[in-house]
Amino acid sequence: MADKETKIVYDESSIRSLDWREHIRLRPGMYIGKLGDGSAPDDGIYVLMKETIDNCIDEHVMGFGKTIDIKVQDNKVFIRDYGRGIPLGKVVEVVSRINTGGKYDSKAFQKSVGLNGVGTKAVNALSTYFKVQSFRDEKTKIAEFDKGDLIKEHNLQATLEPDGTAITFIADDSIFKNYHYIPEFIENQMWNYCYLNSGLTLNYNDKKFYSKNGLLDLLKRKTNEEEIRYPIIHIKGEDIEVAITHENSYGEEYYSFVNGQHTTQGGTHLLAFREAYAKTIREFYKKEFDLADMRASIVAAVSLRVQEPVFESQTKTKLGSTNMGPNDPTIKNFITDFLKKSLDDFLHKHPEIADALLKRIMQSERERKDMAGIKKLANERAKKASLHNKKLRDCRAHYNEEKDEKRYNTTLFITEGDSASGSITKSRNVETQAVFSLRGKPLNCYGLTKKVVYENEEFNLLQHALNIEEGIEYLRYNQIVIATDADVDGMHIRLLMLTFFLQFFPDLVKNGHLYILETPLFRVRNKQQTIYCYNEDEKQKAMVKIGTKPEITRFKGLGEISPEEFGLFIGDNIRLQPVILKQEVTIQKLLEYYMGKNTLERQNFIIDNLRVEKDIVEEKTLSES
């Protein structure tokens, strides 16, 4: 029997009441999702920006303010709209008192994003510096905070500035450790706001973002004119807008929005759209096409305006509402009725597009039937292999089909060799981190068809480990991390794996799931201190910091790093480099350039950009002298 003194006491003293600031700081994930260091587009630092900009967007939607200014410099974020401005007597309360705001009056904000009065409070509580300034009726009010605590409330002052609200904040680096903003993620966020709010101009770090044609512009930016099978279908109605096309690549790609909010996890509106699209296509062509054939290679966007939307989390990434409003039709019926009329009308008016769409569907049908036998054998091999092979060391938390939920903090490391995979396996977090071990160099699959995915055992088992055979909807890990040595062979394996994902699962890359693991190249230490360095510059600084005669170790491979040390690099301090596709480069041209024939252009590129460690050291020495 356990000693009574070791029992946990549970009485009145165990009950605590936290104020709003303490609760947000204690449980930040409830309010802004995952924390992260900024290497993923849904990391908390971007959610802080989004929560602030959403308020500006709501002002624009209500007809107040056509411009928003955003500046990000040295981790300080400034956001300024030209709406009505927060009522001056309520400036402090609006950003520091929970459940306080103007959006509880549905007449004032019929179809806004931020309805629960939490957004700017979360930004305030999670910032080491937060400043709010309201401009209204030629007067201005300023309040400054530190981690949610009011540190200075300024008196009212006269101003000639136009009406509106300005927010400045610096995210707390004790919560968002080693964070940094990636400009491409912010720019993508800016574009999304523009596509969904015609007439709105966003000025981000001296770049202007503006869209005239909404979702049509979005799909033009997300696709390439040379790769789409037919001109983009663009249809609009009251409270709904849709854009659709098909590419030659594999996979499905959707962009869904509610009240201007990018619902990255979809929700009831995206499910309704996919079902309604399939139903409309079948009825138009009077043929019971297979769902997979109609959706293969589709790129589509849908935007909906819903009264008082219900999201499945504070971060508003998945819609849970079933109705368009309290007394309105269901979202499913609304979207079905819209597509049944508008998409059907469009296809009748544009027979050349209808013909091109039919050819794409029939091509997918032929490919699926040709692959049926191969897929069956490959699936049997994968099931049999999974009983015995040790290629996948799974984690305990991953996608749960029964509960229809995704664990968004899960990671799969793809590595090569027993020593490297062994070190990661021993040092990983078994709850959320899995390891897939490659056997030697994978096949260069550039230019090959998806048939090779099933015929090649390595690719087939990886596909099943990720659960992406039918697309990324049921992807078992949110982050797929390529972890290879920082030598020539490691870089080659990395390139071959990037080719595999870009060739056959481009939507996985486009949706921000693929990363490169950065591991330290050097360890600099003495008896008192150890510093791990990821490049030559960091090594030089560490040598100066540690002082005379430091011990310097050059890591040539992941297998040389002990499991104890590896735990430091794949835990809270993990450094991930996201694989980001630049808009101006198409996937096929990218693969052709790097993985196609060895052209003179590519040889010159390699020669011009080849830099070995010796050159870097010489440059460093010259610059210091």
- Phi/psi for 424 (5° steps) reads -65, -40
Quick check: 29 pLDDT over 90?
Answer: no
Q: What is the pLDDT of residue 405?
A: 45
Quick check: 6 pLDDT over 80?
Answer: no
In this prediction the pTM is 0.81
% pLDDT > 70, the chain: 87
Fold topology of 20-209: Heat Shock Protein 90 (3.30.565)
Q: What is the pLDDT of residue 30?
A: 82
Task: Given CATH 1.25.40.20, say whether it is the number of domain 215-368.
Answer: no
Domain ranges of the chain: 20-209, 215-368, 389-519+557-584, 522-554
Work out the average pLDDT over 295-311.
90
Q: What is the pLDDT of residue 92?
A: 93
DSSP string for residues in 230-244: SPPEEEEETTEEEEE
Q: Measured between alpha carbons, how far is 405 from 412 in angstroms, rounded to an integer? A: 18
pLDDT in tens, 574-619: 889 999 887 667 787 788 878 877 777 777 776 676 654 444 444 4
Structure tokens at 86: 């927060």
Of 603 and 520, more confident: 520
**Coil, strand or helix: which one is 117?**
coil
Report domain 389-519+557-584's class: alpha beta
Same fold, 215-368 and 389-519+557-584: no
Q: Measured between alpha carbons, how far is 590 from 584 in angstroms, rounded to an integer? A: 10
**Structure confidence at residue 420 as a pLDDT band (50, 70, 90):** confident
Q: Measured between alpha carbons, how far is 616 from 625 in angstroms, rounded to an integer? A: 14
**Structure confidence at residue 499 as a pLDDT band (50, 70, 90):** very high
Least confident range from 116-120, 381-385, 401-405, 546-550: namely 401-405
Structure tokens at 2: 């356990």
Quick check: 97 pLDDT over 90?
Answer: no
- Phi/psi for 93 (5° steps) reads -65, -40
Structure tokens at 453: 């995915």
Quick check: 498 pLDDT over 60?
Answer: yes
Of 311 and 334, more confident: 334
pLDDT in tens, 447-494: 888 889 888 988 999 999 999 988 888 888 989 999 988 778 888 899
- Phi/psi for 44 (5° steps) reads -55, -35
| Residues 6 or more apart whose Cβ sits within 8 Å of residue 574 | 37, 517
Q: Beta-carbon neighbour count of residue 228 at 10 Å?
A: 19
Q: Measured between alpha carbons, how far is 161 from 85 in angstroms, rounded to an integer? A: 11
**Amino acid letter, residue 404:** D
Work out the average pLDDT over 293-310.
91
Q: Measured between alpha carbons, how far is 342 from 302 in angstroms, rounded to an integer? A: 14
Of 101 and 122, more confident: 122
Work out the average pLDDT over 161-171.
97
Q: Measured between alpha carbons, how far is 591 from 132 in angstroms, rounded to an integer? A: 47
The secondary element (H helix, E strand) that includes residue 353 is helix 351-388
Q: What is the pLDDT of residue 510?
A: 87
Work out the average pLDDT over 391-411.
66
Listed residue (103, 131, 121) closest to 31, CA to CA: 121
Q: In what order do the strands lie in the sheet containing 233-237?
A: 233-237, 240-246, 298-304, 253-258, 261-262
